[in-house]
Structure 1
Amino acid sequence: MRALNLDQLRTLVAITELGSFSAAARALHLAQPTVSLHVSELEARLATPLVVRGGRRVTVTGAGEVLVARARQLLRDADEALNMVKRHREGQVARVRLASSSGAMVHLLPQILEVLDAELPRIDVQVTVGRSAELMGKLFVGDVDLALVATPQAGHPGLRVTRWRQTPMVAMLPPRWEAPQRVTPQWLASRPLIFNEPATHLHQQVIAWFGAAGLHPTGRIEMAFNEVTRRLVAAGYGAAILPFEHPSEALDGRVQVVRLRPALVRHLGVAHRDRSLLDEPTQQVLDAVLRFREPAER
Structure 2
Amino acid sequence: MIRHIEPEPGERIRLISDVHLGHARSTVGNVETLRPLLRGCDRLIVCGDLAETRACAFQARGMEMKHAFASMCREEGVLLHTIAGNHDPLEETSVLKLYGGRVVAIHGHALYKVGAPWGWEYLNHKQACRDLIARHPLCDTDLEDRMALAREMALLSPPVLQRPHVSKNRLLRFMAHCGWPPSRPLAIIRAWMTMGGLIHRFTERFFPEARIVCFGHFHRCGQWKRAGRLYVSTGAFFKNARPSIVDLSDGRVTGIHTESWLTTKA
Q: TM-score, normalised by structure 2?
A: 0.29
Identify which of structures 1 and 2 has the higher relative contact order when contacts are C-alpha pairs closer than 8 Å and 6+ apart: 2
Asked which structure has the greater CA Rg, the reply is 1
